[in-house]
Amino acid sequence: MESVKDIDVRGLSCPEPVMITTMALKKYKGQALRVIASEAHVSTNVQKLLKKNNIAFELSNESNDYVISFTA
Amino acid sequence: MNLPDSKLKLAPTGAIISNAELDRTMSLLDSKLKLALTGAVFGVFAVILALSGNPGNMAICVACFIRDIAGAMKLHTAAPVQYFRPEIVGFIMGSFLISMATKEFRATGGSAPMIRFILGFAMMVGALVFLGCPLRMLLRMSAGDLNAYVALIGFAAGVGTGTFFLKRGYSLGRSTAIAKTDGYVLPAGLLVLFVLSLTTALFAVSEKGPGSMHAPALAALFTALLFGALAQKNRVCFAGSIRDVILLKDFSLISILGGFFVVMLIFNIAHGSFKLSFTGQPVAHARHIWNILGMYLVGFAAVLAGGCPMRQLILAGQGSSDSAVTVLGMLVGAACAHNFGLAGATAAAATETAPATAGGPSAAGQIAVIALIAVTFVIAVTNQKKIEI
């Protein structure tokens, strides 16, 4: 089974997390990804990007971080 | 639209679009409408503040109000602009309280704090040369002040320049989790100062000029609390609005500004404060090149700092000590802008005793704007990082 690729955008200022996720969507097309964010507004922005791209995702929390799992 | 997904629907233009796509478009339109309504609520808050005593087209201005606080604390002594503005306390506390309630508060720091200080300083000097932050620019636009439309050109160009560097890999690096108490310092400190401003004669208060015009302190605080909480929930940012359009073709944030602008436009027309002109506008000047360059600096520095002056207050409230340092940069920038005569002067019509003046920044103010634009370019160029994903 293919491993899940983690995209760590913790602590980055806007709009870097969304830019990096956009890059990851292209680079890892078809792969399982997890975007890890440290702030709620970053998580919201990434979710919005995924919705715009019609990608279904799952949300979870790991310690203090927000994790968004999906298939690019 | 609950047609089966397999069905195709003929759009009015004759193009065939799938039902899923139609649903998606509808939901995007729906969220845009919601955001525009949120902007309208911000407009209503601004109207409340204007009607209860704040200067008309300065109902809410983050740069002006931080400058007034700098004056109240005697960090500068420009007599017309000294007053401890409760709105700034309200914005930060509103964001602080809502982020605590929703468990979104995170004490973070360590992403190039001194560079952020300089960016805050630069934003403030640029804003005070133009005479307003992006928020007041929008208020001035809604009151027909054509100088603000000229400044918007500069602001958009500044945001565009910042976005250009973002695309090339500009980053100030990551912030990390820090002691929770660090995130409490700015909200708590401001609250103490606010109480002192109400209960003692410690702070200076203008007798005339913009600083003498203000809504009752508690009304201003409560309105700003709601404003700050709503801004935290909706991630409102004036620089971010234009940046997202350029960078991501995303019109969400700018929809909020649209709603805000429409409400303020209606208010100004109804209130008789709409006047389409370059001259005779309250607390403004028509030195076009300096309006453009001042706001260019604000837009450029704001994108590099990850948010406009108002957004920095909100981020500081939800625990970012990097943004708190940016706010301190703005405070020191405001003090310097007045101590060293960098801020733009208001244009004045001729009176019986004095001829008309064009206002605008002094030679020192002009040099400061050019120098700070150069510094901002240096920051943009020297903080390129290769992104590995």
Torsion of CA B221, B223, B228, B229, to 10 degrees: 110
More confidently predicted of B293 and B26? B293
Give the number of A-B residue pairs with CB atoms closer than 8 Å: 64
pLDDT at B310: 96
Q: pLDDT per residue over B151-180, tens digit each? A: 999 999 999 999 999 999 999 999 999 999
State the Cα–Cα distance between residues A59 and B180, nearest whole angstrom: 25
Read off the pLDDT band of B218 (50, 70, 90).
very high
pLDDT higher than 60, residue B1: no
Q: What is the pLDDT along chain A (72 residues), one digit of tens a residue?
A: 568 999 999 999 999 999 999 999 999 999 999 999 999 999 999 999 999 899 999 999 998 899 999 998
**Tokens encoding B37:** 């309504």
Domain boundaries, chain A: 5-71
In whole angstroms, give the CA distance from residue B70 to residue B211. Answer: 11
Distance CA B261, CA B136 (A): 11
Do the chains contact at A64 and B106, CB–CB below 8 Å?
A: yes
CB A11 to CB B108 under 8 A? yes
* Residue pLDDT, tens place only, B298-316: 999 999 999 999 999 999 9
Q: Which two tokens stand for residue B162?
A: 């910042």
Q: What is the DSSP letter of B174?
A: -
Min mean pLDDT across B26-35, B236-245, B315-324 is at: B26-35
For CA atoms B53, B58, B61, B63, the dihedral sign is: negative
- All structural domains of chain B with their residue ranges: 33-382
- The pTM (predicted TM-score) of the whole model is 0.92
* Residues contacting residue B329 through CB under 8 Å, at least 6 positions apart: B116, B117, B118, B119, B120, B121, B123, B124
**Long-range contacts (CB closer than 8 Å, 24 or more residues apart) made by B361-364:** B361/B129, B361/B287, B361/B290, B361/B294, B364/B340
What CATH number belongs to A5-71?
3.30.110.40
Are B102 and A40 in contact (CB < 8 Å)? yes
B174 → closest Cβ in A7, A10, A14: A10
Report chain B residues touching chain A, CB-CB < 8 A.
20, 24, 28, 99, 102, 104, 106, 108, 111, 166-167, 171-177, 235, 237, 240, 243-244, 247-248, 250, 252, 305-307, 318, 387, 389
In this structure, are residues B226 and B94 in contact, taking their beta carbons and an 8 Å threshold?
yes
Tokens at residue B115, please?
């560079």
What does the pLDDT average to over B249-277?
93
Taking CA–CA distances from B109, the nearest residue in chain A reads: A11
pLDDT band at B252 (very low <50, low <70, confident <90, very high): confident
Please indicate whether, in this complex, the C-beta atoms of A18 and B248 are within 8 angstroms of each other: yes
Residues whose CB falls within 8 Å of the CB of residue B67, separated by 6 or more in sequence, listed in order: B76, B81, B124, B128, B334, B337, B338, B343
